[in-house]
Structure 1
Amino acid sequence: MVRHASLFSQLTGLFNRNQFYALVLRHGSEKHAKGFSSWDHFVAMLFCQIAQAKSLREICSGMACCLGKLRHLGVKGAPKRSTLSYANQKRTWKLFQDVFYDTLHLCRQAPSPGKTKFRFRNKLMSLDSSTISLCLSLFPWAEYRQTKGAVKLHLLLDHDGYLPVFACITDGKTHDVTMARQLALSKGSIVVMDRGYNDYKLYAEWVEDEVYFVTRLKDNAAFMVLADFPVPKNRNILVDQTILFTGAVAAKNCPYALRRVVVWDKEQERKIELLTNHLDFGATTIAAIYKDRWEIELFFKALKQNLKVKTFVGTSENALQIQIWTALIAMLLIKFLQFRSRFGWSLSNLVALLRWNLFTYRDLWEWIDHPLETPPPEPAPIQYGLPFKGLGQHY
């Protein structure tokens, strides 16, 4: 007797089906649909990510060979390739975007593991983008260079649990600063970013809105020193001072006093010049904040290595958006399992073992705590003998 549904079924059970269908009605995703529902579509694309299916054929065949185990998923059956291809091309990716933010709300309800690295209460976030290269002959709408296509995935990563709280997919030519200007950051929050987001008007807006930033100072920035502060002993801080930009454009766009902290990087043996508008934190805290920005680089690396965002099962812009948003949803699910587990998973191991046990009948929460233990055998059914009479006897 099977006591649990498959792990994949229990994963899809984390989604609120009523809320999902409300989003379907909002976007009209099932208009003129014939048999293949939006839920079927979503489950198929989620299977593509977690099972790492490389093509439409692998998605459909992989689900078809598990046909007897699909009933708990709420799907009617494995889709046909043409049906799934048409859905990826025609059904709006905005449904998957909204499901992503609903899943983010689910992840925020789970306590993040470990203690925070910082004592301050300000919300700390990292802002960055990653370019996803595409073949221009297959994706002509994603022209990036003369012989190359690309799209950009822009992310805002919350350091409380390292969850992406904002995502946007644009063409490869969109500048990072363009997306940074669209963000509505709360007062008192701290955003850390690399030198690619250098924009003096944006810095001035954040100073006026009381939003703090930590970034790299441009090598050719012209400034005057207003004050020098003593640096802590036996630390890697070389310089701590307040400055004022003197360049014509910089002084006009950002006429505020900012802080320059120079850090010595022992590993690379180089100086790193940091720029911030936070004048109260210690210099070592500013340096630690910028160092923690590396987490968003690790997030992009984990996304590309463990999920399907480098090769695509469709060539239209809508299909590409659907696949990337589904990858982000799958990443949130994996993060949620990490938060709930006591096993101490690395993300890559969790993805691999989940893929190998996707249709195993075990309790999901017991499995993430004890994945290497052999499940107890199911009790054998009791067979009752029938009172047949001996052979050769007449009835």
Structure 2
Amino acid sequence: MTAESRKLRYLGLTTVPKRSTLADANEKRPEGIFGAIYADLYNTTKDTLLSDSPTKDIPQWMKKLLIIDFTTISLFSNLIFKGVGRNPKIGKKKGGLKVHSILRATEGVPCDIQFSSSATHDHFMLSPEKLTSEDIVAFDRAYINYEKFEKLTENKVIYVTKM
């Protein structure tokens, strides 16, 4: 915030809050508030998030395409997050955090983001009840769950994954 302090006056702030003040305030907030803020920002701006391509040239199927994936952020301690993977011959497992996201193929930002420990299986992000027959979903093998595939099929959702 210090780097952009000249812009804070537009928010009605005359001084930059100290980092400890922000950390203390965030410690008292429920984590769901940040998800709600993101969802509100996304819903407010989603019509302006289309990619650079002209909208008339986008095929109809691509407008329906959702891409589900994750990235792992390694943390060098097993104290906070349970380690993932095989036990190494030397040293300890590294803890980590997974950032799961759902991205519409025609937009530049995720429409949904969830965090989990790196040891959590990824298929929790695949929610058949949130998808409709209008959706086409692409994801990798990490999301394989045959019960959920059955529900997707029952809901007539088109999905693509690796065997």
**Does TM-score exceed 0.5, indicating one fold?**
yes
* 2:35 partner SS: helix
Q: How far apart are the structure 2 equivalents of 1:69 and 1:121?
A: 38
Letter in 1 for 2:76: C
1:363-378 equivalences in 2 (<5 Å): none
1:139-158 equivalences in 2 (<5 Å): 140-145=79-84, 146-158=92-104
Q: How far apart are the structure 2 equivalents of 1:98 and 1:173?
A: 25
Query: Is 1:100 aligned to 2:38, yes or no?
Result: yes
Letter in 2 for 1:135: F
* 1:169 partner SS: strand
Q: How far apart are the structure 2 equivalents of 1:107 and 1:216?
A: 33
Check conservation: 1:129, 1:155, Cα contact below 8 A: yes
Corresponding residue of 1:174: 120
Q: How far apart are the structure 1 equivalents of 2:32 and 2:120?
A: 20
Q: How far apart are the structure 2 equivalents of 1:154 and 1:110?
A: 23
Question: In 2 relative to 1, CA 90–78 (structure 1 residues): closer, same or farther, beyond 3 Å?
Answer: same
Question: In 2 relative to 1, CA 69–157 (structure 1 residues): closer, same or farther, beyond 3 Å?
Answer: closer
Corresponding residue of 1:80: 18
Kindly name which structure, 1 or 2, has the bigger radius of gyration based on alpha carbons: 1
Letter in 2 for 1:92: P
Larger CA deviation: 90-99 vs 200-209: 90-99
Higher relative contact order (CA 8 A, sep 6+): 1
Q: How far apart are the structure 2 equivalents of 1:87 and 1:125?
A: 35
Report the TM-score when normalising by structure 2.
0.79
Instruction: State the aligned residue count.
Output: 153
* 1:120 partner SS: helix
Question: In 2 relative to 1, CA 180–119 (structure 1 residues): closer, same or farther, beyond 3 Å?
Answer: closer
Q: What's the CA shift string for 1:269-310, capped at 9, x where partnerless?
A: xxxxxxxxxxxxxxxxxxxxxxxxxxxxxxxxxxxxxxxxxx
Q: What's the CA shift string for 1:303-348, capped at 9, x where partnerless?
A: xxxxxxxxxxxxxxxxxxxxxxxxxxxxxxxxxxxxxxxxxxxxxx
Letter in 2 for 1:213: Y
1:118-267 equivalences in 2 (<5 Å): 118-120=59-61, 123-136=64-77, 140-145=79-84, 146-181=92-127, 184-217=130-163
Report the TM-score when normalising by structure 1.
0.35
Q: How far apart are the structure 2 equivalents of 1:74 and 1:178?
A: 41
Cα offset, 1:130, TM superposition: 1.0
Check conservation: 2:128, 2:152, Cα contact below 8 A: no
Structure 2 unaligned segments of length 5 or more: list them: 85-91
